[in-house]
Amino acid sequence: MYNRSKKTTVYIYNQEILAMKKTIFRFTATALTISVIFFSCQKETNHPANSFKNNFSSFRLYDGGFPEGFEAGTKTSYTAADVTLTTGIWNLSDVLIGTSTSDRKVGTKSARIQNSGKLTMKFNLSNGASQVNVRHAKYGSESNSSWKLYYSTNSGMSWTQTGSTITTSSTTLNTATFQVNITGNIRFELRKSSGGKLNVDEFTVYDYGSAPTEDNNLEMGNPSGAVTDINSPDNYLQSKPQYILSYNNSKGEPNWVSWHLSLAWKGAALRCNCFSPDYGLPSSFFIATTSNYTGSGFDRGHMCPSEDRDLNNVDNAATFQMDNIVPQAPQNNQQTWANFENYCRTLLYQGNELYIISGGYGSGGTGSNGGVTYTISNGNINVPAHVWKVVVVLPLGTNDASRVSAQTRVIAIDLPNTQTVTAHTWDYYRTSVDNIESLTGYDFLSTVSTSIQSTVESTVDSVPVQ
């Protein structure tokens, strides 16, 4: 709800997560604290701080205690043996539980698999399975490896492969997603088939019928009333499967970009770095190219980040279209914004889905060349003075806009587009939704009732995050 007279300032982390334990008991439960977060663009980096996992090792977000993070077990040898984990008893053959700095992990432990190792459940899941997600990465500097996922519906008497063979080629944890959709008793076995040692973490099984989905990228409303009309060049609605944006032809960049994020969008596609013009815009519009940024002192800053769309190569490439890009100070893009974006993605592994809106406002930023720069590319592209991001965090479910309540958590951040922004961590820049609305003229969460908007949009978050 937009009100120009209202000004104020908004995040979320372990202490609030711990409080949520009191009301969340399993993935299929209906009550989860709803959160909203505002954040901005970044260059892709590794997750900065993932200590949240230690607080969740016994937190039953999914039926049976999933995701399995291997935090409760100890096994220092590759010799085959049964290990009791949070989810149940697993047999680890040519597998140990790694804790070294070379082990890729979310918390303090992950499974390390060598040779033709197997990671096998010795228990059944009675609610079936709709989807399985497995995070995986190369151990240390090992060579690429390949592995497969199998399931059994007869207590391990026989096994059937699900999905395709996965290649692990990165030292950063990526998510492999398997669509299973089988009812009744089921268990799983991961088998390494070739290559060097690999790490596996956050093994997640969703009950049958309860997997995350790819939802409406504009579920929370059209902030500026953008339309796909060539006569509205500075508020032109551009709709793509991966995100939706309002393009500003006079500024050569988006006014805002809106997208939905859940684990359904996550996968193992690598960052393509394939910046390209968007020729889907009207030919009479200014269409930015990557060369317009050369020597400018500013990064090509994603609004919808590459890592939010890594299910497949097509989705990832879409984030590199130049109408999803604004000039961002390198330290802003690669540090402060990146840390917040990485944090937000950790929320997905706690049973949440996100609705995100991102943009910039004003003119005049300071990049690596120093001074204040108002435009680049001979005046065709505006350099925002500030960048902001909005994220609505909900427990997985349906009819999402109607599930936002007066208790929904709202976090807004508004960062100066400068190199010195790193003087503070991202949470220092928290503000309220009302304040962002007053600075941009946009109306956020317009599909939510006005009475609820007035409450959640005026809230300034104060949860400790460091």
DSSP letter string over 52-79? GGGGTTT--SSGGG-SB-STT----S-S
> Fold for domain 14-49+213-456?
Extracellular Endonuclease; Chain A (3.40.570)
- From the list 382, 385, 381, the residue with the least C-alpha distance to 365 is 385
- The CATH number given to 63-206 is 2.60.120.260
Name the DSSP letter for residue 321: B
Name the DSSP letter for residue 348: G
Name the H helices within 293-385.
Answer: 313-318, 330-331, 337-346
Residue 48 has a pLDDT of 34
**How many C-beta neighbours within 10 Å does residue 29 have?**
14
Q: What token pair was written down for 167?
A: 């290649």
Residue 466 has a pLDDT of 64
Rounded to whole angstroms, the maximal C-alpha distance in the chain is 69
- From the list 413, 405, 396, the residue with the least C-alpha distance to 456 is 405
- From the list 187, 88, 203, 85, the residue with the least C-alpha distance to 136 is 203
Distance set, CA 301 to CA 323, 324, 335 (Å): 11, 8, 12
Q: Which residues contact 382 (CB under 8 A, 6 or more apart)?
A: 248, 250, 251, 252, 253, 327, 363, 374, 375
CB-based contact 331:31 (threshold 8 Å): no
Residue 182 has a pLDDT of 94
Residue 432 has a pLDDT of 92
Residue 39 has a pLDDT of 36
Separation between Cα atoms, residue 335 and residue 422, nearest integer Å: 7
Q: What token pair was written down for 317?
A: 């490439």
Separation between Cα atoms, residue 95 and residue 117, nearest integer Å: 6
Dihedral of the alpha carbons of 284, 285, 286, 287, in degrees to the nearest 10: -100
Which residue among 136, 260, 302, 386 is the active-site one? 302
Residue 428 has a pLDDT of 92
Residue 447 has a pLDDT of 96
Domain borders along the chain are 14-49+213-456, 63-206
Separation between Cα atoms, residue 12 and residue 249, nearest integer Å: 35
Residue 65 has a pLDDT of 63
Backbone φ, ψ for residue 361 (5° rounding) = -150, 160
Walk along the chain (466 residues) and give the pLDDT tens digit of each residue: 433 333 233 333 333 333 333 233 233 333 333 333 333 333 433 333 333 333 332 223 344 568 899 999 999 999 999 999 999 999 999 999 999 999 999 999 999 999 999 999 999 999 999 889 999 999 999 999 999 999 999 999 999 999 999 999 999 998 898 989 999 999 999 999 999 999 999 999 988 877 788 999 999 999 999 999 999 999 999 999 999 999 999 999 999 999 999 988 988 788 999 999 999 999 999 999 999 999 999 999 999 999 999 989 999 999 999 999 999 999 999 999 999 899 889 888 777 889 999 999 999 999 999 999 999 999 999 999 999 998 888 888 888 999 988 887 778 889 999 999 999 999 999 899 999 999 999 999 999 999 999 998 999 877 776 6
CB-based burial label for 274 (10 Å; 0-12, 13-18, 19+): middle
Number of Cα atoms under 13 Å in the Cβ half of residue 444:
36
Q: What is the pTM of this model?
A: 0.70
Q: Is 386 a catalytic residue?
A: no
- Report helix, strand or coil for 299: strand
Q: What token pair was written down for 88?
A: 């149940």
The verdict on whether omega for the bond into residue 67 sits within 30 degrees of 0, i.e. cis, is yes
Name the DSSP letter for residue 336: I
Location of structure tokens 């190369």: 138
Distance set, CA 335 to CA 23, 48, 132, 197, 339 (Å): 34, 10, 32, 31, 6
Distance set, CA 73 to CA 105, 108, 134, 180, 205 (Å): 14, 11, 18, 27, 19
Dihedral of the alpha carbons of 222, 242, 432, 413, in degrees to the nearest 10: -140
Residue 16 has a pLDDT of 35
